[in-house]
Amino acid sequence: DFLHAVYDVGGSSTVDDSLMRHQGREYGYVITGTLGVQVGFDEYQLNPGDAISFDSTLPHRLFNKGPEPVNAIWFVVGRDADDLP
């Protein structure tokens, strides 16, 4: 998956206090806004120009931490492995 992700103010990839996990590896690059990324017990704050990558099998959540929408480029490799028997 290769996508332009937008998180409006207060938006997130999952409901509050909920984490997701799936097969693959994620790569992200923030264009605008402040993106919070929780991976396991660690939390990161990404600003414009920052990038991150992590193993998607680790519990994770992405969320807007600022007063403006977050625009980011996101790439997930190997997620289709979820569909394999």
* pLDDT tens string 61-81: 999 999 999 999 999 999 776
CA 13 to chain centre: 7
**pLDDT of 83 strictly over 90:** no
In DSSP terms, 41 is beta-bridged to none
Side chain identity at 46, as an amino acid letter? L
pLDDT attached to residue 84 = 47
Structure tokens at 29: 């690059």
pLDDT interval class at 82 (50, 70, 90): low
